[in-house]
Amino acid sequence: MTKITKDEYNDIQDWFRMMENLTDNKRRELGEEEFRRLFTKCRPVFVRIADSYIHDTHTAEDIVDESFIRLWEKKDETYTDNWEAYTFRIIINRCLDYLKARSIRTSVQMEIHEFRNRMQMYEITSLQGINPDRIFAAEVKDLFWRCVRSMPEQTRNIFIASRFEGKTYSEIAADSGIPVRQVTSHIQYALKMLRRALKDYL
């Protein structure tokens, strides 16, 4: 969790005490400008707390601002004796929602990227675009396998696992003990070598 100075701690405690001490009627009468002024005083602390969860300062600022809007819109109908827990719960829940959405988005992007790489490999190994009058399939296969054998050992193993064993990037990463992004880099390097080796036939 992010470190909070004594002054910052006092500021946010003042905010929580103020909200808890207001009667329901007084809270309803509280103007938006006054509400914003009191909240803005604590905003940097809330942003740092959100940032400690999501590690993205700009998004943390958006989350805190959205949380302020939520607090303002619901202040007349919120009944709680613990505004500290209520405020943090709103901010943290929005952080969790963001992380879940980002995780899903990253997963989809990875699947799309993996599909594109598989399509590139299909084009290479099926010899699409080759002029049959200029080259025999046996020659191309020979060039293909010579290129594969010349790859660095780990790149070659990862490429074969992906292309010929049908393993996903995640499975290869787990088997190899490396991050998925490194698997992606090895596949991209293998494809680059193959395109260069077969450039006269593609």
Q: Write out pLDDT tens, residues 5-15.
A: 666 666 666 66
Residue 154, pLDDT > 80, answer yes
Give yes or no for a contact between 173 and 180, defined as CB atoms under 8 angstroms apart.
yes
In the predicted model, what is the mean pLDDT of the chain? 74
Within-domain flag for 143:
yes
Same domain, 91 and 137: no
CA distance 141 to 2: 58
For 57-67, write each residue's pLDDT tens digit.
898 899 888 88
Within-domain flag for 109:
no
Tokens describing residue 7 = 């002054």
Same domain, 131 and 60: no
Same domain, 16 and 59: yes
CA distance 27 to 56: 33
Residue 183, pLDDT > 60, answer yes
Residue 180, pLDDT > 90, answer no
The CATH number of whichever domain residue 95 belongs to comes to 1.10.1740
Within-domain flag for 61:
yes
- Reported for 125-133, long-range contacts at CB under 8 A and 24+ positions apart, including other chains, are 125/163, 127/201, 128/202, 129/201, 129/202, 130/201, 130/202, 131/201
Which single residue is written with the structure tokens 């490396």?
Answer: 178
pLDDT for res 1: 47
Backbone angles phi, psi at 126, to 5 degrees: -90, 0
Cβ-Cβ contacts under 8 Å for 68 (sequence gap 6 or more): 36, 39, 43
Q: Which residue has the higher pLDDT, 149 or 136?
A: 149
Same domain, 13 and 96: yes
Same domain, 42 and 91: yes
Same domain, 144 and 70: no
Q: Which residue has the higher pLDDT, 89 or 155?
A: 155
Q: How many structural domains does the chain have? A: 2
pLDDT for res 152: 93
Within-domain flag for 111:
no
Same domain, 61 and 132: no
pLDDT for res 128: 41
Same domain, 140 and 93: no
Same domain, 94 and 144: no
CA distance 16 to 63: 19
Within-domain flag for 28:
yes
Tokens describing residue 133 = 């009058």
For residue 79, name the pLDDT band (cuts at 50, 70, 90): low
Q: Which residue has the higher pLDDT, 26 or 58?
A: 58
Residue 77, pLDDT > 70, answer no
Domain region containing 191: 127-197
Residue 55, pLDDT > 90, answer no
Residue 96, pLDDT > 70, answer yes
Same domain, 73 and 158: no
**Which of 84, 101, 118 is the last residue in one of the domains?**
101
Within-domain flag for 117:
no
% residues pLDDT > 70 (the chain): 58
Residue 182, pLDDT > 80, answer yes
